[in-house]
Structure 1
């Protein structure tokens, strides 16, 4: 985790929220390892023996995609090279980057404790660069950017790119393909949601923070998802966390075509998609946190929503001061809860 000096630097460099998003400037150490090309793929987790060639610790893997090579931050635990491990994609928010996302989520500490590989890739849509590793966003399918404009027609297909990340981390890292998961913060949460909609053959579960969607908002009625924009082939388990005082992606929804309908409706939609037959059942976790759960779902693909009263656009349990984004609850630890959820769900077939 960051030192006290680094935390103070993070707090002192938080920029204003702006119209729809904030810039979090950080003095976080860059990944030291030089980029390496992904080696020829191993059958890791695909029915044959595998050998992990990625070193333990944090390094950079060069992921080849459509004639370009993209550096992806990868953290590998110190585990036997022949044992297939779970993989979690950790997706940064809009106007942010992988280095800072790793600090926000703390998933790399979970990786070491639980023998998990964490890959933290970077979006390809650039903002004005004010962070040491740049400011980037994801190309969420058919959804505008925070500017209100759509990505250019030749923008990278990020659903296809993130499939490539999984495949190439698998080839170098020996991944159990039944246990591949995605989380993300804000715009990264919206991207993780799109992966569940469009790549359910890859991902067993997702856990967006402040960004769950169930298809794009209907342009004719932003208060609901557009029919046909989230039809996964397989059930995907869903856990999400959201503050009721979030001003960027409001819990109660808004009239922004990149956000639209409420977080509660998004969770309900996923419960319908997964054919959950019980719920929602609510439990007061603390004075400010309520847990809603839908169960008895197809292939045990449960849906869970943690509603955090008066919390902002923040990651529950993170010890980083996210400044103008609002209050961060310490009543729950989103990272620990999502790993417990992931570890109890795996893709079937």
Structure 2
């Protein structure tokens, strides 16, 4: 049994317990899936580049399509962190391996705000997302005319949805760091299109209040529909601090972000805290509107890193191997299709 598979067993167990708790507590039952319209996919299996048309330009997006797939296939947007790019993020998360086994599509788009190159430089360059209302890691607000990334990613969903025959009830988003903040923004801005999100080291619930960054701005996140949330955050994260910062780019703490999503989703049970492993505790909120549960995995001593990533430890801190974010999030996504 591989390390990734063994870690997945614990992840699935946590999701199953949460789902059972929600069901026994009277959570909203799953509604039957509507009859899907006929669709013929035009994308072959494997990793490929798909051109996405937006605002008069064409952007190439790395996409992985599994070799076996249902008539309507789930889609996971996997968004890179600041000073990174789509193909680099695909290597960090390795969601392709999970997608091939489980039968879902993964899209790894690249942002459009150019940042100074890393040392050593990344193939594909260093880029940042235009997260609504906040500065980039460079400390500046996006320049006038910067690509509207909520609109761009919505266009991606439209075009990739048609080409891959995506199930609109099973469209999800994850992201690392700045990509987690961007995935959070999608849940706030286009909640009707996203069933669940799973940010790593980047969950937000709208931008920090400019006059009091320790809390979210009330009008900063007003989803029209509930969106299920799973997040992972290390207590030793030095980039997006677990306990928050005085920076408008980050602001309030990771627990406050999860609590705010529990409020936005009208969760009626929680927080319920359990111990998953020696250094990982899980806080869950259930009996939420539309079955949109909220789950927060706190990693004691974890850095600004992707849990379970198969890469050497670097300047961003420890990488826990006690939980596998990629396996865990798919178990969560699979349990949380759109119910409304």
Q: What TM-score bracket applies, with the shorter chain setting the length?
A: 0.7 to 0.9
Q: Is the 8 A contact 1:88 1:116 kept in 2?
A: yes
Quick one: distance in 2 between partners of 1:118 and 1:301?
22
1:161 aligns with 2:152: yes
Matched with 1:87 is: 75
Q: Per chain length, whose mean CA-contact separation is higher, i.e. which structure has more relative contact order (CA < 8 Å, sep 6+)?
A: 2
CA RMSD of aligned residues (A): 1.1
Quick one: distance in 2 between partners of 1:128 and 1:96?
10
Q: 1:325 to 1:84 in 2, by over 3 A?
A: same
Match for 1:185 among 153, 176, 186?
176
Matched with 1:123 is: 111
Report the Cα offset of residue 47 of structure 1. Answer: 3.7
Quick one: distance in 2 between partners of 1:213 and 1:258?
10
Q: Is the 8 A contact 2:62 2:86 kept in 1?
A: yes
Matched with 1:199 is: 190
Quick one: distance in 1 between partners of 2:99 and 2:335?
16
Name the TM-score, length of structure 1 as normaliser: 0.86
Match for 1:105 among 93, 98, 101?
93
Secondary structure in 1 matching 2:219: coil
Matched with 2:11 is: none
Match for 2:253 among 254, 259, 262?
262
Matched with 2:200 is: 209
Quick one: distance in 2 between partners of 1:124 and 1:303?
30
Matched with 2:328 is: 337
Report the Cα offset of residue 320 of structure 1. Answer: 1.1
Report the Cα offset of residue 79 of structure 1. Answer: 2.2
Q: Deviations over 1:163-211 (max 9, x none)?
A: 1111111111110010000000000000000000001010000000000
Report the Cα offset of residue 348 of structure 1. Answer: 2.5
Quick one: distance in 2 between partners of 1:273 and 1:230?
9
Matched with 2:124 is: 133
Report the Cα offset of residue 322 of structure 1. Answer: 4.3
Q: How does 1:213-224 map to 2 (within 5 A)?
A: 213-224=204-215
Matched with 2:314 is: 323
Quick one: distance in 2 between partners of 1:250 and 1:85?
36
Give 4+ residue runs of structure 1 displaced > 6 Å after superposition. none
Quick one: distance in 1 between partners of 2:241 and 2:187?
21
Quick one: distance in 2 between partners of 1:123 and 1:46?
35
Secondary structure in 2 matching 1:324: coil
Quick one: distance in 2 between partners of 1:185 and 1:216?
17
Q: Is the 8 A contact 1:62 1:69 kept in 2?
A: yes
Matched with 2:45 is: 56
The structure where helix makes up a greater share of residues is: 2
